[in-house]
Amino acid sequence: MCVDGRCHPDYCLRIGSAPMILCIDIGTSVLKVGLFDRRARLLRQEGCEVPRAATGGSGAYEIEPESWIRAFESALAGLPRRQLRRTGAVVISGNGPTIVPLDARGRALHPAVTWMDHRGVEESGEIIRSRGIRVDPSFFLARAYWFRRHRPDLYEKTGCFLGCPEFLARHLCGTSVAILPNERFQPYYWTREAIEALDMDPDRFPPFVPTGETIGGLRRDVAADLDLPADVPIVAGGPDYLMSLLGTGVIEPGMTCDRAGTSEGINHCSTRFVDDSRLLSLPHIVGDHYSVAGVISTSGKAIQWFRAFSGYGSDVERFFRDVGEAAAGAGRLVFLPYLAGERSPVWDPDARGVFAGLALSHSRREMARAVAESIGFAMRDVVEVIEEHGFSVGDLRVAGGLSRVPILNRIKADITGRRVLLPEVAESELMGDACVGLVVLGEHASPAEASSACVRIGGTVDPDATNRALYDELFGVYRSLYRRMRPLFRELRAMEAERLDPSGGISYP
């Protein structure tokens, strides 16, 4: 089947002379599948919405993990059968950090706690104090420790904690692993010493496998149901943001990408680590580089939220048409998109969404424009914090489903003052998975080499200076609005805490 993570020639002969790469990315809102050939051409792509995460007290955001399996099967049904039967590798990436506790038989004991969940603040603080490593409340160890402290009944039944892509991989091949992009990431996941220091059992944490390694072969019963070749290698992709770096070609210092989806991730490739609590500074998947990043929690999600209650519903085209028809600046209406708290650069789980300046003269159209412009302001907020450390953020390689929306790309370019570059394959996570798969098929020596050779830019949007002064003024309002509202956010949070169960979330019986 596979030797050293690469396809064995006999296996390739068995499935045909030109094997395909099936790429899977589990997004927060949509699970996507893509079929690539050995030249990294995207032949077909399908997607299926995953259910909305359930919310509860204390910032809980949870989802039934089995919904990922159902979404995968539904999306896969849209791909051509004849080409699927020639699949030579399946590469999986997904959102995170998201964690699922499984029992000894592999059954989920509790809904998956998603990356948007804000529980674990106390646990991460304890880990930081005891281990000296900055750990966000969303990171895996903090999440597992939360179960240990708040749900000891479930913790004792847990045979294994798995992440999002690893859960689907286990379903496909029956093997439990944790995908570690490279060894530099391990302190941000867990170490045996850290687990034991928190009085937890190391056996509840699966073994690490690096990105690009074969986890196992596709189970024959699952292969029959999906009409895929039995034993096809299931390959570790990894966290979606790292696959997106490969998929946009952001592999050299000075390059920057914007992952535009449910959330927004600004990732700047750097040769050095940045110690700034407003940003995430994590190892890059390439060499000794770092990714200096800011994550905006609800960008595309804010658009989805506004459409749902304002009458647009599923009419995305009408929403963006109104955005384009409204004047720049939305009639001096400013929106804070902090609908699930906010990560970069404020890192405040208590933050909430705000319309400021709303007047009788405003209509739904101006409100829609303000929501869209809030994404540009949030991006500029992150970019300017990154540049405080001496970096120069130039072109923004924008990818993801929303990168196909011309008016949104125009708003981003004009508010940030940066040229927007649009890769030919918009779904950068799938393209990054394909780069990993090309190594497995022996087409390239490394994912970075595959990325450099295969990622192509299909379009550009240059900033228009016409509205620069207006946007500079409104950006100042945007930034000061959070600072002025912060005390009120704390008051509202305290009021909410009085009436909610502190454990929050939803639980299995």
Least confident of 3-12, 205-214, 229-238, 263-272: 3-12
* Mean pLDDT, the chain, whole residue set: 91
Topology given in CATH for the domain delimited by 300-382+466-498: Nucleotidyltransferase; domain 5 (3.30.420)
Name, in order, each residue with C-beta under 8 angstroms of 82's C-beta and a sequence gap of 6 or more: none
* pLDDT tops 50 at residue 507: no
15 confidence band (pLDDT: 50, 70, 90): very low
The 10 Å Cβ neighbour count of residue 174 is 16
* CB burial of residue 499 (10 Å; 0-12, 13-18, 19+): exposed
**Tell me, what's the pLDDT at 17?**
58
Least confident of 8-17, 50-59, 116-125, 263-272: 8-17
**What CATH number should be reported for the domain whose range is 2-241?**
3.30.420.40
Orientation angle between helical segments 316-325 and 364-387, nearest 10 degrees: 80
- Structure token digits, residue 240: 């979606």
* pLDDT tops 80 at residue 501: no
DSSP-assigned letters across all residues of 109-161: SS-EE-TT--TTHHHHHHHHHHH-S---TTSHHHHHHHHHHH-HHHHHH-SEE
Percent of the chain with pLDDT over 70: 93
> Which residue intervals of the chain bear CATH 3.30.420.40?
2-241, 300-382+466-498
Q: What is the pLDDT averaged over residues 138-149?
A: 91
Convert the pLDDT of each residue in 368-394 to its tens digit: 999 999 999 999 999 999 999 999 999
pTM: 0.88
SS3 category, 88: strand
Cα separation, 134 vs 469, whole angstroms: 38
Convert the pLDDT of each residue in 330-346 to its tens digit: 999 999 999 989 999 99
**Tell me, what's the pLDDT at 58?**
66
Q: What is the pLDDT averaged over residues 264-285?
A: 94
Name, in order, each residue with C-beta under 8 angstroms of 125's C-beta and a sequence gap of 6 or more: none
* pLDDT tops 90 at residue 491: yes
Convert the pLDDT of each residue in 32-64 to its tens digit: 999 999 999 999 999 999 987 777 666 788 999
* pLDDT tops 50 at residue 83: yes
Buried residues in 107-145 as b, exposed as e (16+ CB within 10 A): ebbbbbbbbbbbbbbebbebbeeebeeebbbbbbbbbbb
